[in-house]
Amino acid sequence: MPRLTVAHDFICPWCWVAWEQSKKLKSEFPALELDWVGYELLPEGLEYTPSAPEPASPRKPRVPSRFDLLLLAENLTLPKRTRSFSRSRRALEGAEFAKEAGKADAYLGEVYHAYWEGDRDIADPTVLAEIAERVGLDVAAFATALDQRTYRDRIVEYDEPAHAAGVWNVPTWMFPEEWVAEQPYSVVRDMTERFLKS
């Protein structure tokens, strides 16, 4: 089965869009297998610094961002979160456990849903245990693997380790001909079609 790697982090809104795109890809190309690899945007020691707001002016028109345009192109609305961001490390390590159990897609979908649509804290072990149970994982073994940091070496951290691996943005779709990041579905779809024909 053709296998394509995607670098992602659950807390990245661009990656939420990529997850939605992947559903369409799988329906169009059922032979495609996606391997979602965790690239942790905010590892321990890297502090979150929100962007400064643009100066307000009653006469200044609103200009859509690149992300606004992507949402428009994909016909998506980013869910509104009321919580601040979550540290994603435990959830990303949990995805590695789910891969080994053959439940990666179900787990990934539940974590993306919990974080974005459910406004849950995916750093909370209780939330992750609920997800593990819902997708049919061995909850005790899952919790032990996270507590013992069994999969810590499989997660790539920002900034330097990610950049050294060639990933500057998530999501990054790692096609053999070219790696692309933060792209509309039409681009990802066309590259997938070429990848599957090669």
152-189 residue pLDDT tens: 999 999 999 999 999 999 999 999 999 999 999 999 99
Q: Please tell me whether residue 103 adopts helix, strand or coil conformation.
A: coil
Q: Please tell me whether residue 53 adopts helix, strand or coil conformation.
A: coil
- Structure confidence at residue 46 (pLDDT): 73
Asked if 156 and 7 touch (Cβ cutoff 8 Å), the reply is: yes
Asked if 151 and 145 touch (Cβ cutoff 8 Å), the reply is: yes
Using alpha carbons, select from 169, 38, 32 the residue that is nearest to residue 112. 38
Q: Please tell me whether residue 33 adopts helix, strand or coil conformation.
A: strand
Which structural domains are found in the chain, ordered by start?
Answer: 3-44+65-197 (3.40.30.10)
How many beta carbons lie within 10 A of that of residue 32, not counting itself? 17
- Within the chain, residue ranges assigned H as helices are 13-28, 66-74, 89-100, 104-112, 125-134, 139-147, 160-164, 185-197
- Structure confidence at residue 45 (pLDDT): 75
Using alpha carbons, select from 125, 95, 97, 133 the residue that is nearest to residue 111. 95
User: Rounded to 5 degrees, what are φ and ψ at 161?
Assistant: -60, -40
- Structure confidence at residue 54 (pLDDT): 67
Mean pLDDT estimate for the chain: 94
Q: What is the pTM of this model?
A: 0.93
Residue range 77-126, pLDDT digits in tens: 999 999 888 999 999 999 999 999 999 999 999 999 999 999 999 999 99
- Structure confidence at residue 50 (pLDDT): 66
Look at strands 172-174 and 33-40 and give their pairing: unpaired
DSSP state of 116: I
pLDDT of 33 strictly over 80 = yes
Q: Residues of the chain with pLDDT > 90: what percent?
A: 87
- Structure confidence at residue 74 (pLDDT): 96
